[in-house]
Structure 1
C-alpha cells in the first residue's frame, strides 16, 4: 500500500428507471449501499465518501469514517456520466492526495478480496487505473459497426470476423464493481477513459449488477443460498 490515504467512494443516486429506490432497498439484512460499505471495511478501507441526492441519507451520521456528500440535482440525472460525478466528489468530498476506490452499490456480490486485489495491482505502479472485469463471450470480436454507405467496420481485428469462434482470444467486460485510481491523476485528466488501464478478473457469479427488480431478486436468492462468500 502507498502512504497516501485510501478512500472508498460510493455514488448513490435516488432515481432509477429500472428499480426505483434500489440503492436503499434492503438486501440480506442491510440496505443495498451497506454492502459496499462493509466490503470497503473488509478491504481495510476506513474512510468512505458517499455521493448522493437521497434525502434520507443527507445529514445523517451513518458511522465513524463515513461522509455523506450531497450531490447537486444537475448531477443526479440518469444520463450524467460518472466522470462528472467524480469531478464533483474530488472537488468537494476528497480534496487532497488520495488513492480512490470507486465502489458501485449495484455490485453487492463483490468481495473484500476483489477490492484488495485491485489495490495491490494498482500499487505496482504499472497502471493509472485498475478495474474489475469478467470473462465474456469472445464472439463479440466478430462484430462491427455500420459505417457510411453501408460499410462494415470491424470492432477489432478484421480477421476475427472470419475466424472460428473457438480460436478467438478471451474477451473481458468491465463489470463496474471496482475501480482504483489516484485522485490527482483524475483531477488532471478529468476522465477514467484514459491512461494505462489494468484489470483484475472477477468470476461471473460475483459480477451481477442490479438494475431491475429481477436482478435484485436474483442476487437476493444467491445471498440467501450462501452462493456468495461473506463480505
Structure 2
C-alpha cells in the first residue's frame, strides 16, 4: 500500500451559477472547499492532494488549507459543460510533463460533498486495490423511488415506461418490494486507476465497483446549502468541547453606524440574544472592535457603555481581532449560522 502513489484531485472552478462562488463560500465558518481538502489530508493512503482551479484566489485558499495548486486550469476547460474527464486528463498530463509524476490511483473528491467520512475514502481505496480487475469504484446510495415506476410523457400525452424488466411484462404495476434494488451515484467519492483515465479515456472504465453509502448529500442549489448548514450545526451539537467565539461589534452585535459615528450605534437584538445564549452555555465570548483604528479616535468608553447598556454578556472586550476558534463576521462564521448554532446547542457542542 505504501508503495502506491495515490493522488486526491479536487476540482474547484470559480464559475458556479446556482450559488455564486459556491466552492469557497463559508459553510459553518469554513470555505466549502476546505472540507474536501481536510478529508483528503486525513486519509491513511492518500499521499498527495491537489486542487484544480482556474482562479488565483481559489488557489490561495486551497493552499492555505494544505492542498497543492501547482497549476491553474485553462479557461477552455473551466466552463459549465466541461466534463470531468478533460479536467483530470489535463491535470495528469501537466503533472507527468512538468514533474514526471504519475499516480497509480486518483481519488476524485468534489467540494460540493462535504459530508463524506475519511474512513469511506480509505475503504474505497482498499476495495479498489483488493480487486485488480476493477477499473474504478464509485460511491452510490439507495434511491427513495424506484425508476421502474417512472415514465416518459410523449408529445401526444401518453406514457412510456422508463425501464422494463426481462420476464416481467409490466414492472410498473408490481409491488415495490418485488422490484430490484437500484442505486444512485452520490458524486461523493470516486476512486479510479490512472490507466482508466489516460488509456481508456474514461472516468470509470467499464468494470466499476460499488461502495454503498446510506444517504445522498450534494450541494447544488440554495436549498441544498441550507440543508448542509443544518447538518453541520447538528454535528456541532454533538461536540462537548467548550469553544471561544470572537464576535465583531459593528455589523454584528451593533448595526452599522452612518459615517462610522459610533455614538449612533444601535443594538442588533437577535445577535445579542445568540451571544448571551452561548455565554450561558459555557462558551467563552470575546467581543472585538476596530473602532478608531484608522481615525485614531478613542471609542473605548462609548463602546463599553453600549455593551453594558445592551446587556451583552461577554468575558473580554478587545480592540482589534483576537485568536479564537470561530470569528463571527463576514469572513468566517456568518451571523445567520451563529444565531442558528446558538439555538441548536443545549450546553456545549
Structure 1's unaligned 5+ residue stretches are none
Q: Deviations over 1:159-212 (max 9, x none)?
A: 2334222211211100001011111221001112532001111111xx310012
1:4 aligns with 2:4: yes
**2: CA distance, partners of 1:146 / 1:165:** 22
**1: CA distance, partners of 2:220 / 2:162:** 30
1:122 aligns with 2:133: no
What does residue 308 of structure 2 align with? none
What does residue 108 of structure 1 align with? 114
Displacement after TM superposition at 1:154 (Å): 4.5
**2: CA distance, partners of 1:228 / 1:123:** 37
1:179 aligns with 2:186: no
1:224 aligns with 2:252: no
What does residue 135 of structure 1 align with? 142
What does residue 50 of structure 2 align with? 49
Aligned counterpart for 2:219 among listed residues 206, 210, 214: 210
Q: Deviations over 1:41-88 (max 9, x none)?
A: 222223111111123034674366623431111111111111111111
**1: CA distance, partners of 2:137 / 2:18:** 28
Displacement after TM superposition at 1:97 (Å): 3.5
Return the TM-score normalized by structure 2. Answer: 0.59
Change in CA separation of 1:227 and 1:147 when aligned onto 2, cut-off 3 Å: farther
What does residue 87 of structure 2 align with? 85
Change in CA separation of 1:188 and 1:156 when aligned onto 2, cut-off 3 Å: farther
CA RMSD of aligned residues (A): 2.7
SS in 2 for 1:170: coil
**2: CA distance, partners of 1:227 / 1:169:** 38
Greater C-alpha Rg:
2
- Residues 154, 161 of structure 1: 8 Å contact kept: no
Return the TM-score normalized by structure 1. Answer: 0.87
Change in CA separation of 1:96 and 1:147 when aligned onto 2, cut-off 3 Å: farther
- Residues 6, 103 of structure 2: 8 Å contact kept: no
**1: CA distance, partners of 2:109 / 2:136:** 14
**1: CA distance, partners of 2:67 / 2:21:** 24
Displacement after TM superposition at 1:146 (Å): 7.1
SS in 1 for 2:7: strand
- Residues 136, 191 of structure 2: 8 Å contact kept: yes
SS in 2 for 1:70: coil
Change in CA separation of 1:63 and 1:217 when aligned onto 2, cut-off 3 Å: closer
SS in 1 for 2:199: helix
